[in-house]
Chains A and B, each alone.
Chain A
């Protein structure tokens, strides 16, 4: 009964979404305030209905209702409760429902937190979100109904893919989807601006915190996925340039460009068209990512069972959304205007360079991701584009971005002078060069690429500090240094924190890439292996019983300089419900390095108590990669909470009125 209620709520929500996607938009166009007023209640109703529907599916999982096909396929009565709940998004249908849930929550939040916006604007934003929601609800209802019944009911579920039975599944998809779907809000704001023809500083100020929120979630979601792959897949890598990773990285790159271009639109009124185009692109890439992942055209860890109808539906939806928004853009963009002029060297031109480079980076990723599909579709063979391609292209494109990141904050709006900037940053260059020369030598080997990475990271941190100090000096006006430092605008503090996060990330990537060490080796009980000064002694393997698996658990002693540090217990698990073994690595994490042990397989399958193939890793600074991402998100969060985004209606209204006359 409950699954039927959930299904019914989903149908109702599709109808509500259709109303939300039509009446308010028409109302805003024809000035019918009664129709405009539909927007907020409809968005709320849509969110409530989808939440109810989602709760119904969760209930089916928790209660082990194997008469629902989706539950029978993705759960099992032995599955621990947290994975039964997370199992809701462990497959195609449920993860789509999660997508929709996130979308309706974003719409609900916009409805609640937009009291200071003009009603027509709110109606257009929510209407656009309603249309997107309608498309996805239709997709679920027509091709991927999670509530479909199984008659007769299965006695036992097929179980969740063991790879997904991990805390990562509980956190990674919701975060990532919040980010993906969050760009729909930036998109909706852009469409609303095109529809109304009002694209001004006030508009940029409204959409900035929303874009920032989506970007924060996406950053955390991607970082979480990377960390999960690192400890769970047992390969010790943190990024594989897997097409699905790329699918989430492309909106991130464009989203990052969008944040910066929105800053220019807000402060200077420039880049208007460009900002709108980026907002459309960011969301289009989110949709493209969904298409790539869900249609099954990709070979990937993320590929679920496929159904060609789904691929075609998303493809049509993708074409409709991108096509109609670009058409609207083409029709309206000339009216929007270009905004303020700026000099060849100025904050604007530097940010423009940043934007162009980020877009180029995204284009290269897109090319590398789609090229194999294109070649395959043309029938000229199957190819794969591997990590070396991305690395070869990415480093040269990212290097100037990282360099300019240090320069940008020193440049004045409109017209900046190069000698002035050079004078301000010269010490940062000295610090960077020192770090680049000395630090690699301390680690034993000096490589040009290592030095470059460290140079850029140190450069970013040093310029951020210099810039911060300079600004505090200029704004002191008699107050103490600390008091002035604490009263800096949050956008400014957030920006530097996020940039430092990038530097921390670069240190992690550089160090782990340059100095990691790994060994694959055969070990008999009692034997030991050394990696980078860490001494691992293998004491053998014993059988351990988990809630729904049995595992061979390795027993290792980790020692440094002859002193015992800790036990390490990697596992090789065999889940009852599937024939699939799972490697659980054991990681000793630290501020400056991780050491990592995982079990391969017994050399003789019939003698698990004997010799094993074992992999040991030394990963210097690897946690800085995710630490950097957390800092970036934190910076974003601080910037998002800036006072000026909470200006009330009285302050916002005259600005947009003034811009209308202009």
Chain B
């Protein structure tokens, strides 16, 4: 009898802990996932409002400009079809270059620009972030085949 109670207590405790942990994990996942959205989809108004997300693409040639404070940078990310203006305050990574792939995380502002909290460029000059590559590929496919990328590549807003 006593051992059965002990077992029940153990199992109950374990289940309770598992439940708490599962809730924690789901909650954390829910609020900390950033979707990748291509510039084309952003232009089509598919970007989440007020929630951070990631964009990927190429840094448009000749688009990088500095504000007077010297550390706020403005540049254009393009998937060759659509452009987005990105604002970022901080030091850019070593491999950030015009014409190269880039991934930025941040939010849309009311002015329709992207305010980045983080800019990632990967550590090999020939390496293209897959997200940036996909955005460009999709845009070019759409341009060539006249197939709307929204039928396939649309990220589901299931969170």
Contacts and interface: CB of A to CB of B under 8 A. Distances in A.
B143 interface: no
A613 to B, nearest CB: 5
Contact of A600 (B14, B35, B71, B124): B71
Contacts of B105: 384, 386
B82 interface: no
A257 B155 CA distance: 38
B123 A389 contact: no
Contacts of B125: 578-580
Given A161-B124, A364-B25, A613-B71, A382 B134 contact: yes
A196 interface: no
Contacts, number: 113
Contact of A603 (B21, B34, B70, B153): B70
A58 interface: no
A382 B155 contact: yes
B90 A520 contact: yes
Contacts of B92: 600-601
B129 A299 contact: yes
A397 B21 contact: yes
Given A389-B28, A522-B71, A613-B71, A383 B129 contact: no
A393 B32 CA distance: 11
A651 interface: no
B91 A580 contact: no
B155 A380 contact: yes
B24 A392 contact: yes
B9 interface: yes
B31 to A, nearest CB: 8
A302 to B, nearest CB: 9
A583 interface: yes
A371 B29 CA distance: 10
Nearest to A384: B34
B154 interface: yes
Interface residues of B, number: 44
Contact of B32 (A389, A603, A613): A389
Contacts of B17: 356
B81 interface: no
Contact of A367 (B25, B34, B69, B131): B25
A385 B32 contact: yes
Given A521-B71, A578-B125, A603-B70, A384 B91 contact: no
B35 A360 contact: no
Contacts of B29: 367-368, 371, 385, 389
B75 interface: no
Contacts of A367: 25, 29
Given A367-B25, A603-B70, A388 B122 contact: no
B130 interface: yes
A8 B11 CA distance: 57
Interface in A562-585: 578-583
Interface of A is mostly: mixed
Interface in B120-159: 122-125, 127, 129-131, 134, 152-156, 158
A472 B150 CA distance: 71
B114 interface: no
Contact of B36 (A371, A383, A388): A383
Contact of B28 (A382, A392, A601): A392
Interface residues of A, number: 44
Interface in B14-44: 14, 17, 21, 24-25, 27-29, 31-36
B4 interface: no
B130 to A, nearest CB: 6
A334 B69 CA distance: 69
Nearest to A344: B6
Interface string A303-318: 1000000000000000
Given A344-B9, A578-B125, A380 B69 contact: no
A138 interface: no
A615 interface: yes
A380 B66 CA distance: 36
Given A161-B123, A301-B123, A393-B28, A383 B35 contact: yes
B79 to A, nearest CB: 13
Given A344-B10, A382-B131, A613-B70, A299 B122 contact: yes
Contacts of B90: 520, 615
A371 B152 CA distance: 20
Given A301-B123, A385-B33, A520 B89 contact: yes
B94 interface: yes
Given A384-B34, A522-B69, A603-B70, A582 B94 contact: yes
Interface in B67-107: 69-71, 89-92, 94-95, 105
B60 interface: no
Given A385-B32, A521-B71, A613-B71, A360 B21 contact: yes
Nearest to A378: B156
Contacts of B127: 303
A227 to B, nearest CB: 17
Contacts of B153: 381
B32 A392 contact: yes
B89 to A, nearest CB: 7
Contacts of A582: 94
A522 B70 contact: yes
Interface in A139-173: 161, 163
Interface in A370-429: 371, 379-386, 388-389, 392-393, 396-397
14 contacts: A234-B94, A299-B129, A303-B122, A367-B29, A379-B152, A380-B156, A380-B158, A381-B155, A388-B31, A389-B29, A389-B32, A522-B71, A598-B91, A615-B90
Interface of B: 6, 9-10, 14, 17, 21, 24-25, 27-29, 31-36, 54, 66, 69-71, 89-92, 94-95, 105, 122-125, 127, 129-131, 134, 152-156, 158
Q: Which 9 A-B pairs have the closest CB atoms?
A: A522-B70, A381-B155, A382-B36, A600-B91, A389-B32, A392-B28, A388-B32, A520-B71, A580-B125
